[in-house]
Every structure is written in structure tokens, then in C-alpha cells.
A = this chain, B = another copy of it.
Amino acid sequence: MAERRRQEEIVRLVLELSKTLVSHYQARLAELHLTSPQAMLLHQLDDPLPMNEVAGKLHCDPSNVTGIVDRLEGRGLIERQHLTKDRRVKHLALTAEGRRLRRRVETILSSAPGLSTLPAADQAALQDLLERSLASGN
């Protein structure tokens, strides 16, 4: 079946593009001494959030967030806080230093990596196709 072949190729392309994008950001973030996951986490913290929800936004296991937060907190960029009555939940909040660094992260994350050479119409088409792939892919 030819369709199957095409689907395999699409999968291969998505995985490769994903790796390329991550490497690109990784290089730009290195000067801030941040890794991609650390930057993604800071990116979420416009306002304080429960670790719970951060894990959801990052599409990863809660136990994973613990480690990333440990390192960021160790550098004084974020803090764990108890903002609600429920003493189980810990909120993550930026420190002053963290807020300053986050601004630089934002400009890096919004610096488009190569994609900008695609015509606007193609970008719109690509976005649409990706959304539908994601929706169908359960």
C-alpha cells in the first residue's frame, strides 16, 4: 500500500523536524544556561501555577516536573509556594530574577527557526494539517 509508505514518511519527517527545532532552541538558550525543558517551564509561569497543571501544560509526568523545578529553584529563579488551603498542592512562582530571565526566554522562543521562509499561505496550510493530524491521532 502506497498510503502506508507515505504515512511512515510523514512520521519520520515529524520526528526529524521536532529534533531539529529542539536543537535550534537549545543552542539559543545555552547562553542563558537554560535547557529546553527549563525554558518551556518558565514560559508557562506568567502567573503562579500548581505543579499539577504545569505537568499538564508540558504534556509530561508530574514526577518529571519535580526534577526540573529542583534545578530552577536551586538557581533562585522560581519558588514553591502554598497559596491555597489544600496543603498538598504547591504553586510555582517566578522570583524577581526569574521574571527577568523569563523575558529573555520569551524573545528566544518567539524567534522562528527557519520556518519563516515558508510563504504565509503555506504556513496556514501547515498549521491546519498539523491540527487535524493531532485531533485524529486520538
Contacts and interface: CB of A to CB of B under 8 A. Distances in A.
Chain A residues touching B, range: 35 or more
Nearest to A40: B15
B129 A114 contact: no
Contacts of A19: 59
Interface in A13-35: 13-22, 24
In the complex, the count of this chain's copies comes to 2
Given A4-B110, A14-B21, 19 more contacts: A3-B112, A6-B124, A7-B112, A7-B115, A8-B112, A11-B112, A11-B113, A13-B134, A14-B17, A15-B18, A15-B21, A15-B22, A17-B133, A17-B137, A115-B136, A122-B132, A125-B125, A126-B126, A126-B133
